[in-house]
Amino acid sequence: MKIVRVLSALLLLGLLAAGVAGYLVWSEAQAFLEATPSQEREEKVLSIPRGSGPGAVSRLLADNGIVTDAEKFKLFLRVREAAGKLRAGEFRFTTDLTPDEVLDLLINAPEVTYPITLPPGLRIEEMAALVEEAGMGSAAEYTKMARSKDFIAAANLPFANAPENLEGLLVPETYNLGPGADAKAVVEAQLSRLRAIWTPERRALAKQRGLTPYEVMIMASLVEKETGVAEERPLIAGVFFNRMRIGMKLQTDPTIIYGLPNYDGNIRKRDITHPHRWNTYVIDGLPPTPIAGGGLEAVEGVLHPTETKALYFVAKGGGAHYFSKSLAEHNRAVRKYILKR
């Protein structure tokens, strides 16, 4: 009986020890699940290489202060059966996250993107300079693609014929691109936006205006260069349509500038009469290509022009214009807003 009592006591002690050990393991696991590496919120962008397993990801996170313990987080990933859900890419973390919150980001967070803003009214070379400045490839690479006949021919543009270059077709907007984006990625994002703009509805509107989609882009570039005031875009388009309807030349100064190889900020009388492909004081109708990147607002202004009787406009300061129905009224406006100034 004494032996039985001793064995019972030993068994009880073993069970108690196991219980204590189990409690300690559970307690340690709970502490890990509730802990954050820091109470301070510091943001970190980490790049997870392709093919990284639970061990590599856990070490990366621990080394950068996103989790408290690499081995415990590795075990946590396996318990949660998350190994097959890990993704490569750049992701944004903070140092005040619990393991569950870190796992949610690893599985569901969007990749980090980097914005580049290309404003309306810029030429190819001006956009190229901004691309290089943003660290997304060289200006030369961007310009080469925008003027490459082979690249353009394979670009699936929404036009009947391939244009001679991409002037005015690289849609000016803000683009959010993934890590490592280069000049080709920027150009392709802009062309993807161009294709998205030319819906069947906009094609039908262009046809109603007597223009092809490419001609709309040409006129949009003229509108964009003439005004930065949003509400004036459809009004200036209306003036251009009025001029074309009566056989009047478009006579827009930005087209003179576009064809001048050494423009110094002044348009001289000889420049107005100088014949080149884009000079709308000399040629009839639209120039052969756009002269700059027209934004979506300019395209919409051309497709939805203001019904107006105006044939002329002159800058009156602040980016806005005064619109006139007759040459006499226009000349008075020129004297008021330009000559006196």
Are residues 104 and 169 located together in one domain of the fold? no
pLDDT value of residue 287: 97
Q: How far apart are CA 13 and CA 34, in angstroms?
A: 31
List, for residues 163-176, the tens digit of each pLDDT value. Answer: 999 999 999 999 99
Cα within 13 Å of Cα(67), Cβ side: 27
Instruction: Give me the CATH number covering residue 129.
Output: 3.30.1490
Are residues 87 and 123 located together in one domain of the fold? no
Choose among 170, 141, 175, 174: nearest CA to 155. 170
Which of 181, 197, 213 corresponds to the end of one domain? 197
pLDDT value of residue 2: 55
| Cα 101 to Cα 54, 62, 91, 93, 96, distances in angstroms | 16, 14, 13, 10, 9
179 is in which domain, residue-wise?
A: 113-197
Q: How far apart are CA 86 and CA 77, in angstroms?
A: 9
List, for residues 325-340, the tens digit of each pLDDT value. Answer: 999 999 898 888 876 6
Indicate the residue type of 171: V
Residue 118 maps to a domain? yes
Residue 7 maps to a domain? no
User: SS in 3 state form for the chain?
Assistant: CHHHHHHHHHHHHHHHHHHHHHHHHHHHHHHHHHCCCCCCCCEEEEEECCCCCHHHHHHHHHHCCCCCCHHHHHHHHHHCCCHHHCCCEEEEEECCCCHHHHHHHHHHCCCCCEEEECCCCCCHHHHHHHHHHCCCCCHHHHHHHHCCHHHHHCCCCCCCCCCCCCCCCCCCCEEEECCCCCHHHHHHHHHHHHHHHCCHHHHHHHHHCCCCHHHHHHHHHHHHHHCCCHHHHHHHHHHHHHHHHCCCCCCCHHHHHHCCCCCCCCCCHHHHHCCCCCCCCCCCCCCCCCCCCCCHHHHHHHHCCCCCCCCEEEEEECCEEEEECCHHHHHHHHHHHHHCC
Q: Indicate whether this model's pTM tops 0.85.
A: no
Cα within 13 Å of Cα(254), Cβ side: 20
Total number of domains in the chain: 3
Residue 28 maps to a domain? no
Are residues 38 and 58 located together in one domain of the fold? yes
Residue 4 maps to a domain? no
- Give the mean pLDDT per block of 10 residues along the chain (341 residues): 52 52 56 80 89 92 92 90 88 91 91 94 97 96 97 95 96 93 96 97 97 98 93 96 96 92 83 90 96 96 96 88 92 82 59
Are residues 286 and 209 located together in one domain of the fold? yes
Are residues 237 and 297 located together in one domain of the fold? yes
Residue 184 maps to a domain? yes
Which of 197, 212, 229 corresponds to the end of one domain? 197
Are residues 174 and 227 located together in one domain of the fold? no
Are residues 44 and 60 located together in one domain of the fold? yes
Are residues 252 and 188 located together in one domain of the fold? no
pLDDT value of residue 273: 87
